[in-house]
Structure formats: structure tokens, C-alpha cells
Chain A
Amino acid sequence: MNYAPGIGFQILQSVFVVLAAPLLMGWVNQCRAWLQNRSAPSLWLPYFTLAKLFHKDAVIARDASPLFRLTPYILFGCMWLAAGIVPVLATDLPFAPAADIIALVGVFALARVFSALAAMDIGTSFGGLGARREMLIGFLAEPAMLMTLFTAAFISGSTQLTTIVETLAHREFAIYPSLAFAAVAFVMVLLAENARIPIDNPSTHLELTMIHEAMILEYSARHLALIEWAVAIKLFAYMTIGIALFVPWGIAEAGNWAALPVAFASLALKLAFAGAGLALLESQLAKLRLFLAPEFLSAAFLLAVLGMLTHFLVRG
């Protein structure tokens, strides 16, 4: 079998995701500004911010351990791997069988553990607080995420994302109750895992409410840039997972290179919608108190379980 075009495409896709991720971030911020009657920043602002951060000198606390300096690179590497596994444009990804949906959740967990550890490295009270809250959100969100993915896995009889997408893309255009439940649960998990409102606020620096920001307080310059970039890739990856599971139509299937332009256009359209939807959700919702987060996420978990049970009951 000739793997070369597949591998080439694989590398191309992951580079594309890494480069395009800040754009999605810029788009979400732009939409949010519009919804809040502010004049919107440029779509390219995240790139400028990254460039600025990369040029600065890193300021590091005196007693930081090597773990602290290594973590941004590990985070970035994990997210890059995730970006390579999720079928974004086509399902012909030779590396995708190396990690199925369970391993994908594992990659996100690995990144989370490292960022929480790095937050505790300096020994400030903020770092510990952020790490504790991040792990709290994580353990609530992970089972819900797995249940959502399991629903899709039961429908397609496989835990390979590429196989799931191929199966789901071939179903006729109809609403499946199980997938509808799973989709709602997935959106809730997406909000929590990406530190968005109502669980966390990406633009806050208020001590009492911040989770993700509290963890990265000690980072600056290139390290901060890598973390911000990784955050953008994570959002991109989550959105593309959602698209792949719930609206896979238009994706180019194995070997069908001619379908790539269509796939590209449909992806851009779907992401534009998803980003605008995220901004809308964030503008409409208020941030929850930290101890309402368990209720929010257990609701997501129950919805995912309902979706799975519906699949067993009606086979739909």
C-alpha cells in the first residue's frame, strides 16, 4: 500500500490546523465584540499577539523547576497531536489509528495534568488554586465527554474517529435522538473544557473566578505564547470533533482528493457558524459559581447517558 500521499496529507492537515487555530479565536472574539456593541478587533489580532509575545524576553520565577519551562512545549505538542488525529478535511489520516477517541481524551488529560503541575511549581497560592479548580472541572467533564463519544462509537461500532465519521457521514439527513442528546452534552463539555463562559471566563483576571488564567499567571513571553496558541488549537480541535461527530457532511473521504475544495469550503462555513454560536452562547450566559459547575457538568453527563440509552432503545 502506498502511504506517501496519506502521510503528506496528514502533515499538511496538522500544520493547517495549527496555523488556522488563532484565526478561529480571532473570529470568536470579533463576533463577541459585535454582540456586545463594541468595535471589533482585527481578525488577525491573535497572530499579532503571538508574534509580540515570542519577541519578548521570558521572565521566570527564580525557583522554577525544569518542569515549569518544559510544560508549554508539552502542551503545544499534545495539542498538535490532537489536531493531527481529528479528521478535519478528509478521513484519510494514516496516523489516526494510532489514537482513537479514548486516546484523544487521554491526550487532553495529559495536557491538563501538565498544566496543573506547572501551575503548582512556583508555589504561589494562585497557581495551586487554579490547578485545583482545573482538575475539578476536568474530572467532571471527562466522563461526560467519554459518554458522548461512546454514543457515537456505539452507533458506528468503532472507536476510530475516521471510521465514526465515515459511518455517520453516510447516514441519511435526519435527526437522530441519540445524537441530538449527545450533541447538547458535547457543547456543554466543550464550554467547560475550553475555559469558556459559563464555567470560566477567558478574559477575566478577577482572582475569585478565574480558573485557567490563574494557572498561567506566572508565564510570560514565548512560554505564554505557546500556551495561548495551544489553547487556540484545543478550541479548534474540539470544534472539529463536534463537526465530525454531528455534522460530518462534506468531508472528503479516503482517496477522494477532488472533494478537498468542497470539504475546505464546508469546513470554513461550519467553523464560522460554530464560532459565532460560541460567541452568542457566551454573550447570553452568565458565569456560574464554581460549585454550580458540578451541576452543569453532571447535567451534561446525564444527557450523554440518555443519548446512549436512546440509541439502545430505538437503534437511532
Chain B
Amino acid sequence: MLENVSPLIGSLAIGIGWLAIAALALIPSGNAFFARHVAFPLGALAGLALAGFGVGAVWVPAEQMTLPLGMPDLPFHLRIDPLAGFFLMLLGSVATGISVYAGGFFRDEAPGRLALIGLQYHVFLASMAFVILADDAYLFMVAWETMALSSYFLVTTDHREPAIRSAGFLYLLIAHLGALAILLCFGVMHGGQGDYSFDALRAAELAPKWATVAFLLAFFGFGAKAGMIPLHAWLPEAHPAAPSPVSALMSGIMLKTAIYGMVRVIYDLIGGVRWEWGMLVLAVGAGTTLFGVLYALMQHDLKRLLAYHSVENVGIILLGLGMSMLFIGFGHHAAGILGLIAALYHTLNHAVFKGLLFLGAGSILHSAGLRDLNHMGGLIRTMPKTAFYFLIGALAISALPPLNGFVSEWLTFQTALQAPILENGVVRSLLPLFAAMLALAGALTAMCFVKVYGIAFLGRPRQAGRAAPAPNGDHGHDAGNMERFGMAWLAAGCFVLGLFPTSFLLMLNRVGFSLTGHGLPNEALESNWLWLVPTAPEQASYSPLIFMLVIVAVTLLTFALVRRFYHGRVRFADPWDCGFPEQTARMQDTADAFGQPIRHIFGPIYRMRRHMPAPDDPAPRFSIEIEDRHWTLLYLPVARLSGLLSSKIGLLQRGRISIYLLYSFLTLIALLVFVR
């Protein structure tokens, strides 16, 4: 039945459907059952359908449509092409899992608040769909701002806490700086013709200077939303503040709309990608990757840590995009498309595993009432199912085969290994160094998630008498059914994306082809579904399914052989105490201790304040505070400067109506003089 609906109509219907669910959630606001068991699951079904339409759109020609809405002479234009289809698939499939989870997660909310969350949540989803569907700058900006505002309200759900209000303010501020840059970018691209539809922007011929200006505005404007350094400061504040499903939506999907915007504007609307742009993107991407993971290693608040990992993963996506732009700029289109595929694949992967990890963090918060890693421990015993799903997410984000994170990093490495075809010697030698940076970040991520998993789920509980009980009073039960379904959905996504990469490669190849008119070499496309071949079979191949099967088979075989030839006898005893019987759970490694070697090696990167107790202190306490250097180097000076300027401008404000009338009068005179 659904096959006969065109993807554009279908996606539009889903967007409107989400808006309708938002309105529905508000009506019976006294009824929490409705919101939990009807509104959120309906939203999830809509997401599933949207994913289907998105996949369909990748394989058919682009479709356009004009809506009789908007302002006079400025109707809304919609368009769906393979790029939009891919991102709609991402949005729909990830939102499916998160929505089901949200239905379970908000089980303890008061009905009134739940109705508001339901409204904002579905408006947020719909606005993201319209960002992707928009085909003119006007609708794009309207949807973009709706997205920023609805997510702002979701972040400040617990607005009675001052810390959450200030986190929300920071988010709104940076979101608007970014939006301003995007608006200016559209202005530069359109060059005074008065037509803001994307078709017109695409057709406009820009002088190289103006194209670069437009690129810079788009890069930094969308980068602010994506969380690239140095505009990342809102992420580690806003994500911990928001309820967990909202963090998952923001980190998993909303950051990706920024990547969508970047690709749309740079590859499609500006066109004519230059390699110098690629170098800038690569440099920023490398910095973002390293800073993100190094700061993540220092965190002990689980959600802050995940937020810094989002920064890191955006960096990895930017590395792929940068390489792609570099190769396309030099005219090597096949390698350029490979880089684009790697970046977009990582975009999808990150949405899936980061969504999963945020949901897992939410379940811990919900069941054990804990967010600080230093108080956790041994959760695998009380929440074994959550522990299992979280392990999959942790392995996936650590880029370990055979899960999905590895596939996209592998593709990025393969792109970097195309370096010898470049003519420019310096760039050719630099490219593998960026790959090394990626390898370093991958290994550091693995370390960070060993820390997270080892401290939160393994070991013994550190919380004796210190944990704040969950709102419902108990600590120590597994996540509920709906929460578990949400996590299982995304965990399955990690496996599907990790084990069957070829079908996604073909899909992304079509996206790249529709944007640039070039694709991967035929040799790469002729391989069957089992083998992932980015260039040619003799150059590189990877078969995650065989990989997985061999590991599983060999592990089972070993188990069977050991059992067959020896025995399965086990005795249980206390852990070895090294002859010191008074060991307590507090003697285990903490999150801060785990990061200590990193602090030692990368010391200059952090701004640290250590408090060392004196040797004769009877009650010694050691404390260390680690701050993001960007605050003192960038944000606080800018804040001080703008404070200073505002106080100067504030002098104009006298609070008396006659003075304001005088200002209006003077302005009118000045305008008359200058403009006539």
C-alpha cells in the first residue's frame, strides 16, 4: 500500500502527522496513560514509516513540490532527493527507538508536564523533518529555528534548577549565533536576485571570493549546531541538563541535521568545492576529534562524558568530509565520493550508537538515580539487560569490529590511503597524519569506554550510603519493557550497520552521485553483499559477517573443546586481597583515577586546579577540578567584551519616553539626509 505513495508526499504526511501528535498530546493533558501509550508509540510508528520513505527516496529521481503556505510571494518549497532521503531514513529509524523508549522513560512524570514534553518532543521531530525537506532558504530557516526553540524548551524541562536554565541559555545563544551565520550565508549565495529557493541558489554563479565567504559562513554556522570546536561549549552543558531521550534525540539526530546542512550547502548549493576548504575542514575536524575525546576522558558525569564524545564524533565526520572536499577539489572524484560516503556513514552510525548510549545512561539514571560515575559500580548485576545493550553501544563507539563504528572508521582510513594519487606533495604527506589522528582518537575512545563500562557496570557498587535514591525510591531494577525495546532497536541497528555495510555503501554512493555526478569505480559496485570493497578488491576489502562468524565459531569451538577434553568444574571464593583483608569498594579505581595517566601526558591541554593536602593534615582531602580551556581563552573574554559594549550602549537607555522620541526623531532626520 505504501509503495504507491511518493516519498515526498509520504514524508510530508509524516511531518504533519508528528505535528498532529504534538497537538493530540496536549489535549487530554490530565491523562498520562494517553501520552505514554498512545502518543509516543504513534510517533515511533511514524518514524518507522518515514525511514521507509527515506530509503525509497534514495532510489528514485528527486521530487519537488510547492506548498500554498508561507508569506505572499514566498511559498514553501519542498524537495526530496537521495541526500534528503538518507537523512530522513536516519531521522526516522533512530527516532523510532527513542520514541518507544521515551514512552517508558517518562512513566513517572506528572500528567501536565508530560503533555508539554509530548508537544515539544513531536514538534522537535517534525521540525527536523522539515529542515531536511526544505527547498528554500525561508522554510529552511523557519524549520531550523523551530528546531532550536523546541529543543531549548526540552532542555529546560527541569527549569526550576538554575544550572539547567543557564545551560539552556548557553545553548540558545550559540544556536542563534549559528543561525545568524547560516542566514548570512544564504544572503551571500543569493547575491541580490530576490529568489531564495534552493534552485535559484544552486543556479547562481558565485565569484570565488564570495563562494569562499559563503563556505565559511555555512561551515561555522552549521558547525555551531554540530558542536565543532571551538563552538562546542553548549553540548556538555545542555546534554546533561536535558531528559535522556531528549539528549539522545539532540545528540543522535539534531547534530546530524547540521551535517546535512553542511553537505547540502557546500556540495549542492555552492558547488565547485575547493581543496583549500577541505584543508580547513580537516584541520578543524582533527582538533575537534582530539579535544573531544581528551575532555571526555576527564569527565565523571556520564552524560557530560557522552556529550564530549559527540564532539569527538562530529570531528570524525568532519575528517571524512574534509578528505572528500580535498579530493574533489583536486579533481579526484572517486576518492572524494569515498570520503563523503565515509562521513555520511559515520553520521548514521553515530546517530545509532550515541542514541543507544544516551538511552542507557537514562536507564541508569532512572533505575539507580545515578549520573556520577564515581558513585556507580556493579550495575551489571542489578541491570543485566541494560548492561548488555550498553556494552554493544560501547564497543560500537570504540570502533571495534565487527560493529558499525568500525566500518565508517575503516572507510575513512581507506579514503586517507588514497593519498598517493594527489599531486600536491605537502597535502599528500599530511593526509596520513590525519588518519593517525583518527587512530589515536579511536584508541582513546576505547580507553574511555573501558572506563565507563568498567566503572559503571563492573566491579562492586561504590555507592554504599551515598546514592540518592531514584524518584520512585528503589535502586536496582532493570529498565522497563518500553525502555528495553528502545535500546534493543538501536543495538540491532549497530549490528545491521556493522554486518551489512555494502547495501548502505551503495545507497550512499547514489547520494554522492546525485550531488556531484560522480560515483565509486565500477569494481567497487560489482562486489556482492558479503564483501565491502571501497575501490578495488585487490586494494582493500572487509567482510564483517565472515569476521563475526569466524570469531563466534572459534569461540564456541574452543568452549566445546575445553569442556569435552577437560571439565567445567568451578569453585567460588573471595577475590584475592593481597593479604590485606580490609578492602572496601571505595578502593576500586574511580573515573578520575582512570583518567590520571591521560592527565599526566596531555597536561597542557587542560586547565587544572589541584588541591593537595599538607603532609600533616589530619583530615586530608585531595581535589582536582578540570575546566575546558576554551572557556578562559575564548568564551569569557567574548562575554566580558559584550558585557562592556552593552553597558556602554546601555547609557543610551534613559527610561524616559521623551528621550526615546528624540532618538526616533534624530534617526528619521539622519535617514532622510542619507537616503532621500
Residues on A close to B: CB < 8 A?
54-55, 57-63, 65, 67, 73-74, 76-78, 80-81, 84, 95, 97-100, 102-103, 106-107, 109-110, 112-113, 116-117, 119-129, 131-133, 135-136, 138-140, 142-143, 146-147, 150, 153-154, 157-160, 163, 207, 217-218, 222, 226, 290-291, 294, 301, 305, 308-309, 312
A113-B565 Cα distance, complex, nearest whole Å: 29
What is the CB-to-nearest-CB distance from A38 to chain B, in angstroms, rounded to a whole number? 28
Say whether A143 contacts B436, CB under 8 Å: yes
B residues near A (Cβ < 8 Å) are 377-378, 380-381, 391, 395, 398-401, 406, 410, 413-414, 417, 419-420, 425, 428-429, 432-433, 435-437, 439-440, 442-444, 446-447, 449-451, 453-455, 458-460, 531, 537-543, 546-547, 550-552, 554-555, 558-559, 562, 565-567, 569-578, 583, 585, 587-589, 593-594, 596-598, 600-601
Task: Give the residues in chain A near B459, CB-CB below 8 Å.
Answer: 120-123, 127-128
Q: Report Cα–Cα, A216/B443, bound state, in Å.
A: 21
Q: Are B542 and A121 in contact, CB atoms less than 8 angstroms apart?
A: no
Flag if B562 contacts A222 (CB, 8 Å).
yes
Minimal beta-carbon separation of A306 from chain B (angstroms): 11
Q: Which of B401, B540, B555 contacts A73 (CB 8 A)?
A: B555
Known: A77-B554, A226-B562. A218 touches B447 (CB 8 A): no
Residues of A within 8 A of B566 (CB): 54-55, 222
In the complex, are the beta carbons of B558 and A123 less than 8 A apart? no
User: Is B450 within 8 A of A131, CB to CB?
Assistant: yes
Set B428, B437, B447: member contacting A138, Cβ < 8 A: B447
CB distance from A241 to the nearest CB of B (A): 17
CB–CB B381/A63 < 8 A = yes
Is A81 a contact of B554 with CB atoms below 8 Å? yes
Q: Binding site of A, secondary structure by majority: helix, strand, loop or mixed?
A: helix
Chain B hits for A98, CB < 8 A: 541-543, 546-547, 550
**A78-B551, A106-B400 known; A61 and B573 CB under 8 Å?**
yes
List 7 A-B residue pairs with CB atoms under 8 Å apart, sorted by A's residue number. Answer: A58-B569, A76-B558, A109-B398, A117-B454, A123-B460, A124-B576, A132-B596
Q: Is B573 a contact of A135 with CB atoms below 8 Å?
A: no
16 further A-B contacts with Cβ under 8 Å, apart from A99-B401, A113-B446, are A60-B570, A67-B391, A73-B559, A98-B543, A99-B542, A106-B399, A109-B443, A110-B400, A124-B575, A127-B459, A128-B594, A154-B420, A160-B541, A226-B562, A291-B600, A312-B425
Instruction: Tell me if A125 and B601 are in contact (CB < 8 A).
Output: no
Closest 7 CB pairs of A and B: A128-B589, A120-B454, A123-B459, A77-B555, A139-B443, A123-B460, A135-B447
Most chain B beta-carbon contacts within 10 A, residue among A107, A123, A153, A308: A123
Beyond A78-B551, A305-B433, is A131–B454 a contact (Cβ under 8 Å)? yes
B551 x A77 contact (CB < 8 A):
yes
Return the chain A residue nearest B587 by Cβ. A125
Contact B550 A138 (CB under 8 A): no
CA distance A63 to B380 in the complex (A): 11
On chain A, the residues within 8 Å of B432 by CB distance are: 147, 150, 154, 305, 308
User: Are B540 and A81 in contact, with the CB atoms below 8 A?
Assistant: no
Distance (Å) between the CB of B21 and the closest chain A CB? 40
- Which residue of B is nearest A294, CB measured? B601
Measured CB to CB, the nearest residue on chain B to A104 is B401
Q: Please state if B381 and A81 are interface contacts (CB–CB under 8 Å).
A: no
B400 touches A158 (CB 8 A): no
Asked if B458 and A100 sit within 8 Å, CB to CB, the answer is no
Beta-carbon contact of B558 and A73 below 8 Å: yes
A129 and B278 CA atoms in complex are apart in Å by 41
Q: Note all chain B residues with C-beta closer than 8 A to A143.
A: 436-437, 439-440, 443
With both beta carbons as reference points, the residue of chain B lying nearest to A217 in the complex is identified as B576
Q: A254 to chain B: closest CB distance in Å?
A: 12
Residue of B nearest to A155 (CB): B420
Taking A106-B406, A305-B433 as contacts, is the C-beta distance between A76 and B401 under 8 angstroms? no
Known pairs A163-B538, A218-B575; A125 contacts B594 (CB<8 A): no
**A128 contacts which of B395, B413, B593 (Cβ < 8 Å)?**
B593
CB neighbours of A217 from chain B (8 A): 576
Closest to A106 in B: B401
A301 to chain B, nearest CB (A): 7
Indicate if the CB atoms of B458 and A125 lie closer than 8 Å. Answer: no
What's the Cα separation between A60 and B428 when bound, in Å? Answer: 53
Q: Complex Cα distance A80/B549, Å?
A: 13
Assembled-state Cα–Cα distance A245/B342 (Å):
28
Residue pair A305, B436 in contact (C-beta under 8 Å): yes
Indicate which residue in B414, B435, B571 contacts A57 across the interface (CB closer than 8 Å): B571
CA distance A291 to B587 in the complex (A): 23
Highest count of chain B CB atoms <10 Å: which of A80, A116, A128: A128
A67-B395 Cα distance, complex, nearest whole Å: 14
- Chain B positions within 8 Å of A58 at CB level: 569-571
Partner of A154, one of B417, B541, B589: B417
Tell me if A117 and B540 are in contact (CB < 8 A).
no
Minimum CB–CB distance for A61 against chain B, Å: 4
Q: Is the CB of B400 within 8 A of A139?
A: no
CB of A102 to closest CB in B, whole Å? 5
- Nearest-CB residue, chain B, relative to A14: B554
User: Which of B436, B552, B574 is in CB contact (< 8 Å) with A146?
Assistant: B436
Whether A63 pairs with B597 at a CB distance below 8 angstroms is no
Chain A residue numbers with a CB within 8 Å of B391 are: 67
Q: Which residues of chain B are within 8 angstroms of A60 by Cβ–Cβ distance? A: 570-573
Alpha-carbon distance between A308 and B601 when the two chains are bound, in angstroms = 25
Query: CA–CA, A78 to B402, complex, Å?
Result: 11
Residues of chain B lying within 8 A (CB to CB) of residue A109: 398-400, 442-443, 446
- Distance (Å) between the CB of A253 and the closest chain B CB? 14
The complex places the Cα of A73 from the Cα of B553 at a distance, in Å, of 11
Q: Which residues from chain A contact B551 at a C-beta distance below 8 Å?
A: 74, 77-78, 81
Which of the residues A57, A129, A136 comes within 8 Å of B447, measured between beta carbons?
A136
- CB-nearest residue of chain B to A65: B380
How far is A95 from B388 in the complex, measured between Cα atoms in Å? 29
Contact B593 A132 (CB under 8 A): yes
Instruction: Assess the B417–A159 pair: CB atoms within 8 A.
Output: yes
Q: Which residue of B has the minimal Cβ distance to A134?
A: B450
Query: Complex formed: what's the CA distance from A154 to B422 in Å?
Result: 13
Chain B nearest CB from A28 CB (Å) reads 24
In the bound complex, CA of A133 to CA of B420 (Å): 36
Which residue of chain B has the shortest Cβ distance to A128 in the bound complex?
A: B589
Interface-centre pick from B455, B593, B601 (highest chain A CB count, 10 A): B601
Chain A contacts for B398, CB-based, 8 A: 109, 113
**Inter-chain contacts of A102 with B (CB < 8 A):** 410, 413, 542
Contacts A57-B570, A78-B551, A133-B597; is A312 near B428 (CB within 8 Å)?
yes
Chain A minimum-CB-distance residue to B536? A158
- Give bound CA distance, A47 to B286, whole Å: 47
A124 to chain B, nearest CB (A): 5
Across the interface, which residues of B come within 8 angstroms of A160, CB to CB?
Answer: 538-541
Given the complex of chains A and B, what is the CA–CA distance between A168 and B260 in angstroms?
A: 43
Pairwise interchain contact A113-B401, C-beta atoms closer than 8 A? no
A100 touches B420 (CB 8 A): no
Chain A residues with CB under 8 Å of B569's CB are 57-58
Q: A304 — nearest CB in chain B belongs to which residue?
A: B436
A159 and B425 CA atoms in complex are apart in Å by 22
Contact of B429 with A139 in the complex, beta carbons under 8 Å: no
Residues of chain B contacted by A158 (CB below 8 angstroms): 538-540
Residue of B nearest to A76 (CB): B558
Interface centre among B377, B429, B531, B589, by most A CB within 10 Å? B589
List, in ascending order, chain A residues with CB within 8 A of B429's CB: 308-309, 312
- Whole-angstrom CA separation of A62 from B398 in the bound complex: 30
Shortest beta-carbon distance from B639 to chain A in Å: 35
Given A54-B566, A142-B442: A117 and B453 interface contact (C-beta under 8 Å)? yes
Check A132–B589 contact: CB distance below 8 A. yes
CA distance A73 to B552 in the complex (A): 10
Nearest residue (CB) in A for B553 is: A77
Complex Cα spacing A65 to B456, Å: 13
Chain B residue nearest in CB terms to A154: B420
Max chain A CB contacts within 10 Å: which of B436, B444, B587?
Answer: B436
